Amino acid sequence: MSILEQFSLEGKTAWITGASYGIGFAIAKAYSQAGAKIVFNDINQDLVDKGLASYKEEGIDAKGYVCDVTDEAAVNELVKKIEAEVGSIDILVNNAGIIKRIPMHEMSAEQFRQVIDVDLNAPFIVSKAVIPSMMKNGHGKIINICSMMSELGRETVSAYAAAKGGLKMLTRNIASEYGEYNIQCNGIGPGYIATPQTAPLREIQPDGSRHPFDQFIIAKTPAARWGSTDDLMGPAVFLASDASNFVNGHVLYVDGGILAYIGKQP
């Protein structure tokens, strides 16, 4: 097999959760370009319809389904449906997630549990649902969208950091438990990515200066810029392809070097 063939996803079925837009959509687009059939889900029909329209605009024949990934029974039913309508799931990307920016002393236990449920329990539920078929087929790729908060703490994100730290360890445990079945489970830890959700943090201020948070990120990033969703496409294809068959239990941080950098001297 040539090196380029190792990166091909031709004939593979990839399920990316929460991929109507943003990072999940960019990863799905990359997988389609590499030859994979694309399946995605989201929490309601409106988001699925918007996602389908975006995929159609890109010339991608994606299959979209409504599913709450925290609902184990619904996930199990969706896996059966995907297998019947599209085929066995070769690649799973646990992308769906939420964040609540609330100081810990003001956050309710219910709010904390909600973040843990979506960002940690759901990847467990979805991975558990696809692993039996992957074991039977003798191959599989599971990619968890982790975070720099898998390694770092920061103000107001206690639940998110706890969930993403747990997701890093779930990634390692899936690799440990199912590596012998030729199933690789790895993570991607995005840095600060320029998306519509982060656009307000990058707006030029009335006096012509950068937003304070924008200044903070640029100063902390050796690349001196925000990442783009395109920066995640190559790493995502690598971890989904045969090129990464001996890479297991790893979190690939796509962060412009933030985690390697102590910052400039004042």
Kindly provide the b/e burial profile for residues 170-193, where b requires at least 16 CB atoms within 10 angstroms of the residue's own CB.
Answer: bbbebbeebeeeebbbbbbbbbbb
**d(C-alpha 12, C-alpha 241), whole Å:** 10
**d(C-alpha 42, C-alpha 208), whole Å:** 38
**d(C-alpha 104, C-alpha 253), whole Å:** 26
217 neighbors 261 (Cβ within 8 angstroms)? no
User: Which of 28, 6, 55 has the alpha carbon at shortest distance from 143?
Assistant: 28
206 φ/ψ sector (left φ>0, alpha ψ -120 to 50, else beta):
alpha
Catalytic, out of 31, 55, 160, 253: 160
160 is annotated as an active-site residue: yes
Strand pairing report for 37-42 and 140-145: unpaired
User: Which of 136, 138, 165 has the alpha carbon at shortest distance from 149?
Assistant: 165
User: Which of 172, 176, 178, 218 has the alpha carbon at shortest distance from 198?
Assistant: 218
What residues act catalytically? 160
